[in-house]
Amino acid sequence: MKHRVFVDGQEGTTGLRIHEYLAQRADIEVLRIDPERRKDAAERARLLNEADVAFLCLPDAAAREAAALVTNSKTCLIDASTAHRTAAGWVFGMPELAPGQRDKIRAAKRISNPGCHSSAFILLLRPLVDAGIVPRELAVSATSITGYSGGGKKMIEQYEAGGDAKLDSPRPYGLTLAHKHVPEMTAHTGLSVKPVFQPIVGNFLKGLAVSVPLHLSQLKPGTTAESLHAAFAQRYEGERFIRVMPLRDPGTLEQEGGFFDVQACNDTNRVDVFVFANDSQAIVMARLDNLGKGASGAAVQSMNVHLGLDEGLGL
């Protein structure tokens, strides 16, 4: 029997990519809405309640409204918006978050899909906090450089139209220090202090890398580059979508004079984790495709876990 899936907001960047993943699946029946009725609440409600799994690829307010339309207790919602990422009753859709997270996703009917920046940040900090290496009260900062597809259709059109010189260089944003990913970055790492987060958009379609600088003297006494790397290796052992790269990764350092390739995980559901360090300082980094593991790929991965399927099916 096929699993019935509906994507509410199928015309957006995340929704389109989810459809691409599902199109190759013989085990999925995609429920589609007539384009002329995509704003018809009654028709959307019908499809949401007919689905075994429904993805919400909508702005936050619209996602909350869509969730309220679901009365079928058997429908599992996977919300790709920011609306429910720290909400009570919703399970965070990151199977690699901690032991037991897959069981929570499997049992849940309300799953919040992580954001792209926060996915990389959480996968870097959560293992270190859980291991006691990073104190929960440590004031942490992070920088993320990302492709413009994370800004949605309007930003994609702006960049791809060309002719605007200011788009040629990287553009820092989120300068109010209130980026919408910060609450989940705090809640799901176990940190008690909000990180200072600096995102930067660059003139390339997709790819993302988050960097977190650390002073070893501020961490658990005796922490070294090797113990940081070992914490990642232990936590992510056996995880098919997370690759812990060699310490001070020679392949990365030797390529083109040591420049880091932000786009090397594009078109995969993979996250690469790095530790670069000297005797007193470290930079931990995570790289992913902001449209893959940072959005649509993560949502499909959570669907697979929830349905009891092979986690990598279609990915």
Structural domain contains residue 314:
no
For position 181, what pLDDT does the model report? 96
What is the pLDDT, as a whole number, of residue 55?
Answer: 97
- Residue 79's nearest CA partner among 68, 69, 64, 99 is 64
- Is residue 257, in this structure, part of any structural domain at all? yes
The answer to whether residue 210 sits within a structural domain is yes
- 88 plus 124 within the same structural domain: no
pLDDT at position 189: 97
Q: Give pLDDT, residue 252.
A: 82
The single residue of 57, 76, 116, 265 carrying the catalytic annotation is 116
Q: What does pLDDT average to in each consecutive run of 10 residues of the chain (315 residues)?
A: 91 89 93 84 93 96 95 97 96 97 97 97 98 98 95 89 90 94 96 97 96 98 97 97 94 80 96 97 98 96 97 94
Identify the CATH number of the domain in which residue 34 sits. Answer: 3.40.50.720
Give the range of the structural domain holding residue 37, as residue numbers without chain letter.
3-114+294-307
Active site residue 116: yes
Per-residue pLDDT at 256: 67
- Residue 39 located in a structural domain: yes
Same-domain check for residues 120 and 255: yes
Do 10 and 144 lie in one domain? The reply is no
- DSSP class of 28: E
- Same domain as 7, residue 109: yes
Q: Let me know if 263 is exposed, middle or buried by CB neighbors in 10 A (0-12, 13-18, 19+).
A: middle
The answer to whether residue 225 is domain-embedded is yes
| Inside any domain, residue 312 | no
61-96 pLDDT, tens per residue?
999 999 999 999 999 999 999 999 999 999 999 999
Q: Residue 283 sits in a domain of what CATH number?
A: 3.30.360.10
19 plus 128 within the same structural domain: no
Predicted TM-score (pTM) of this structure: 0.95
| SS3 assignment, position 30 | strand
Measured between alpha carbons, how far is 162 from 149 in angstroms, rounded to an integer? Answer: 15
Do 110 and 220 lie in one domain? The reply is: no
Kindly state whether residues 63 and 134 are assigned to the same domain.
no
pLDDT at residue 271 in the model? 98
- Has residue 56 been placed in a domain? yes
Domain count, the chain: 2
Is 313 within a domain? Answer: no
What is the rounded CA–CA span in Å between residue 123 and residue 131? Answer: 13
Same domain as 131, residue 238: yes
Same structural domain for residues 94 and 241?
A: no
Q: What is the pLDDT of residue 257?
A: 76
Residues 215 and 230 in one domain: yes
Residues 126 and 106 in one domain: no
| Domain co-membership, 14 together with 154 | no
Instruction: Give all strands (DSSP E) within 104-235, no chain letters.
Output: 110-112, 141-147, 171-172, 196-202, 208-215
